[in-house]
Amino acid sequence: MFSALGGSSPSKKLLFGLALALVVCTSVVDIALAQIEIETSSLSYSSDCILHSGSGLRNVYVRLAFNSGSSAARFRMELGPGVTMTYVSESSPYSSLGYALAGISICFDACLTGDPLIDTVTFMSYGTDTPYSEVRIVPHPSAQTVEVEKCDGSTVAAYGGRLEIISPGIPPLNCPTPRLFPGTPLPFDCAPPVSVENTTWGLIKALYRN
């Protein structure tokens, strides 16, 4: 086993063991990263990654999966070439800034674990999407990666999920592999800015009159 290393001396065995441990640890880190998934079911995290094209309203559900503890997320939803659906509305059970197609930051207002549903985006489908087109989670325009804020305040990269659109009668492919974007995770704020209005010194003094 150690002949490729030129022998089996204790020092070379130690180096081989360290290299193997590094590979294993790297694999564990990759698997442990959160994923922002997009699905066609709101019930629970699943591999329901196929959206059948047809006329009418279609909901796309955004879920934070493989989540060991997070307080916020920042991403954008991208319609790939061939997608002809149009955006109608969206809703999140948490505080948010922006909207999915332009870039959204979502504050969970708590430390969440598990696989929470964080956003629901509604589209009008016309049944004209090119088969195997994709809806994708990609970095927010102000970010380099898809980002999740952990409960300790640190920001980490997350995998961006993908949803495949097919027409009735066309066999689905395998679920598209989530993508990890290169770049540095950056701190972000998902609280709306406080509104400010013009005032005068007289109005300020009036606040303190009996």
At 193 the pLDDT is 57
In whole angstroms, give the CA distance from residue 69 to residue 110: 10
Q: Check if the beta carbon of residue 107 is closer than 8 Å to that of residue 71.
A: yes
* DSSP label at residue 85: -
Burial code (b: 16+ CB inside 10 Å, e: under 16) for 21-41 equals: eeeeeeeeeeeebbbbbbbbe
The whole-number pLDDT of residue 157 equals 97
Ranges of residues in the chain with a pLDDT under 70 are 1-32, 44-47, 172-173, 191-210
What is the pLDDT at residue 103? Answer: 96
Which tokens go with 206? Answer: 């009036």
Q: According to the model, what pLDDT value does residue 124 have? A: 95
E strand residue ranges, the chain: 35-39, 50-52, 55-65, 67-79, 86-91, 95-99, 103-114, 117-126, 133-138, 147-150, 155-157, 159-160, 162-166
Give the pLDDT confidence score for residue 47 in this predicted structure: 56
> Distance between CA 176 and CA 168 in Å, rounded?
19
Alpha carbons 46 and 164: distance in angstroms, whole number:
14
pLDDT digits 0-9 by tens, 116-128: 999 999 999 998 9
**Residue matched to tokens 């790939």:** 80
Handedness of CA 132, 124, 34, 47 (dihedral sign): negative
Distance CA 142, CA 75 (A): 9
Model confidence pTM above 0.85 = no
Query: Distance (Å, rounded) from C-alpha 160 to C-alpha 52?
Result: 21
Q: What's the CA gap between 27 and 22, in Å, rounded?
A: 9
User: Does residue 187 contact residue 156 with C-beta atoms inside 8 Å?
Assistant: no
Residue-wise pLDDT for 31-74, tens only, equals: 458 999 998 887 765 557 778 778 899 999 999 999 999 999 99
State residue 162's pLDDT score: 92
Q: In this predicted structure, what is the pLDDT of residue 176?
A: 86
Q: Helix H segments across the chain? A: 10-32, 201-206
65 touches 137 (CB < 8 A) = no
Q: What tokens appear for 80 in the block?
A: 């790939």
